[in-house]
């Protein structure tokens, strides 16, 4: 079975779209997902399934709407896709080190999108890039680097408005999800 990671957009943020993780795990187990676990309250769900991405996304979105009455967009990546995201940071060690010194809080994020943005969408986004706010796109994943803060960032706002369903996670969360997925895969006994 494949380890998948479902990333929910906009839950438990500012008191809106509240879902308890224990209830979410129970709801997703009820539709046949196996070994369901969650990480923090922002809608990171790891599970095992052999279904394809589109079918899983549809079933999870429907179950969340049925059980919780919320219309939430779900982005799915396999454990392998998440490992590739973590291994493919496009920014140099020098850029990351400089951002780590100057940023107020987290400085590296990945916006995971349902589909890859068009060249035109990326060109529009490029017009909001500055020497303090950088991005690079690899397929369906948009890497964002902030030398100051993501708060009040024009680039971050425009990235959210690309016209592609997406959800953003910080670099620490990306790496933790990889670690949890690795643990799930290593705990699988051979058939």
Alpha carbon distance 69, 72 (integer Å): 9
Q: Is residue 127 part of a domain?
A: yes
Determine the pLDDT at residue 188. Answer: 61
Residue 120 has which token pair? Answer: 């035109």
Mean pLDDT, range 63-74, rounded to an integer: 95
Specify whether the backbone of 15 is left (phi greater than 0), alpha (psi in -120 to 50) or beta: left
In a domain, 78, yes or no: yes
Whether residue 15 is predicted with pLDDT greater than 80 in this model: the reply is: no
Considering the domain architecture, whether residues 78 and 118 belong to the same structural domain is answered as: no
pLDDT at 160: 87
Higher pLDDT, 43 or 82: 82
What was the pLDDT predicted at 26? 97
> Does residue 191 form part of some domain?
no
CA–CA separation, 28 and 171 (whole Å): 26
Mean pLDDT of the chain: 93
Structural domain boundaries, residue 161: 86-170
**62 and 33 fall within a common domain:** yes
The structure's pTM equals 0.93
The 10s digit of each residue's pLDDT in 25-65 is 999 999 999 999 999 988 999 999 999 999 999 999 999 99
Tens of pLDDT, residues 162-191: 888 999 999 999 999 999 999 999 876 454
Place of tokens 């967009």: 73
* 12 has a pLDDT exceeding 80: no
Domains in the chain: how many in total? Answer: 2
CATH number, residue 100:
3.30.70
Distance (Å, rounded) from C-alpha 144 to C-alpha 149? 11
Neighbours of 19 (CB within 10 A): 19
Q: Which two tokens stand for residue 110?
A: 């990945």
User: Average pLDDT of 139-146?
Assistant: 97
């Amino acid at each position: 079975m494949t380890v998948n990671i479902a990333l929910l957009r906009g839950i438990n943020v500012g008191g809106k779209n509240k879902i308890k993780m224990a209830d979410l795990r129970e709801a997703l187990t009820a539709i046949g997902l196996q070994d369901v676990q969650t990480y923090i309250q922002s809608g990171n769900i790891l599970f095992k399934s052999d279904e394809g991405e589109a079918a899983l996304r549809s079933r999870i979105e429907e179950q969340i709407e049925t059980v919780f009455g919320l219309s939430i967009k779900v982005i799915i990546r396999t454990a392998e896709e998440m490992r590739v995201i973590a291994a493919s940071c496009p920014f140099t060690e020098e850029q990351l080190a400089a951002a780590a010194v100057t940023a107020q809080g987290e400085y590296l994020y990945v916006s995971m999108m349902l589909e890859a943005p068009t060249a035109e969408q990326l060109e529009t986004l490029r017009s909001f890039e500055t020497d303090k706010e950088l991005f690079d796109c690899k397929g369906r994943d948009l890497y964002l680097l902030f030398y100051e803060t993501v708060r009040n960032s024009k680039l971050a706002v425009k990235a959210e408005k690309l016209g592609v369903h997406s959800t953003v996670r910080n670099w620490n969360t990306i790496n933790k999800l990889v670690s949890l997925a690795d643990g799930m895969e290593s705990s699988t006994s051979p058939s």
